[in-house]
Amino acid sequence: MAITINNNVSSFFFILMDFPGLETSHCWTAIPVCSIYILSFLGNIMIMYIVKSVPSLHTPMYLFLSMLSMADLGLSISTLPSMAAIFLLGQRKVAAAICFMQLFFIHTFSVIESAVLLAMAFDRCVAIREPLRYATILTTKRIGAIGIAIVTRSAALHLPLPVLLGRLQFNPINTLAHSYCVHPDVLRLATSSTRVNSGFGLFVMLSTLGMDAVLILLSYVLILKTVLSIASNAERLKAFNTCVSHICAVLLFYTPLVSLSMIHRFGKKKLPAQVYMLLSYLHFLVPPMLNPIVYSVKTKEIRVRILKILRPQKF
């Protein structure tokens, strides 16, 4: 019997995917998932609190780090509702309107994080290439303007996504391939033409994540050129060491993303579903958890402040 198709957003819903093979083990999968979220929330809130409460850290590098923590926190909050519904409540059904709202926030905060990483690359490039003009180029006012531009660009580009998806037709019941709603996953379930949606999604991806990645790479080419021109090996090492934390954050964000894109285009049918699901978790869940840890370990000022909070009697 043919299934009736309806494009009324209130008349269809989506089924979220458990981790393949662990559908009956929610009590065990909930432990690592909850641990990741707890570490993400605590780590990013602590970074934001330290930067806000210590006047000496109100410098471009740490203000951008605070923006990165905000983006990580937003990304974690965006994926949390559906993940908690699955692994804590065993609820996999989600209304279409809620699904569209979630994918808007997930993609928006993901692009915000990418843009903040670009801003941090620009910060390191200016600090190494123009150290004497660093404070005059990256003033607090300009940093605020960069932050507003980042949020405005990300939100404006993704606002049409729920509207365009709401115009498509879907079956009454649609099974997603993830534990949360993302645009390509929802789009593949449409039963009507997706040419406009696909074109717009490609434009958004190339103009945000794609352009950000190219500009980050260009920034590091300029940084490397400057570092290699320094005569002293000690000075080279010192200059490069200021970029290590940012390089780790870029790799944490872009490596799973590029891997997912490659698998989606060329090898999705050849790999188990567990690999695809694991990479998606690595992309959306792991960077918000590990970024605060990386910056706490590699940045002395942050590390000292955290130790002072955790062990005040020794300071």
| Average pLDDT of the chain to the nearest whole number | 87
* Residue 234 confidence (pLDDT): 83
Closest to 119 (Cα-Cα) out of 68, 56, 154: 68
List domains and CATH numbers for the chain.
11-314 (1.20.1070.10)
Question: Which residue stretches of the chain have pLDDT < 70?
Answer: 1-10, 20-27, 231, 264-273, 312-315
From residue 277, alpha-carbon distances to 20, 112, 179, 195, 213 in Å are 8, 23, 9, 26, 23
Counting Cα atoms < 13 Å in the Cβ hemisphere of 130 gives: 10
pTM > 0.75: yes or no: yes
Buried b / exposed e across 209-228, counting CB within 10 Å, b at 16+? beebbeebeebbeebeeebe
Q: Are 275 and 177 in contact (CB under 8 A)?
A: no
Distance of CA 9 to CAs 93, 152, 212, Å? Answer: 14, 27, 33
The pLDDT value given to residue 5 = 45
Between CA 291 and CA 118 the distance in angstroms is 15
Q: How many CB atoms lie within 10 A of CB 132?
A: 6
What are the tens digits of pLDDT across the range 240-249? 888 999 999 9
Q: Say if residues 208 and 71 touch (Cβ distance below 8 Å).
A: no
Give how far Cα 205 sits from Cα of 111, 212, 258, 295, Å.
9, 10, 12, 27
In tens, the pLDDT along 156-197 reads: 999 999 999 988 888 888 888 888 999 988 988 888 888 999
**pLDDT value at residue 4:** 42
Report pLDDT for 1.
Answer: 35
Look at residues 161, 261, 269, 190 and name the one whose alpha carbon lies nearest to residue 14.
190
Beta carbons within 10 angstroms of residue 179's beta carbon: 23
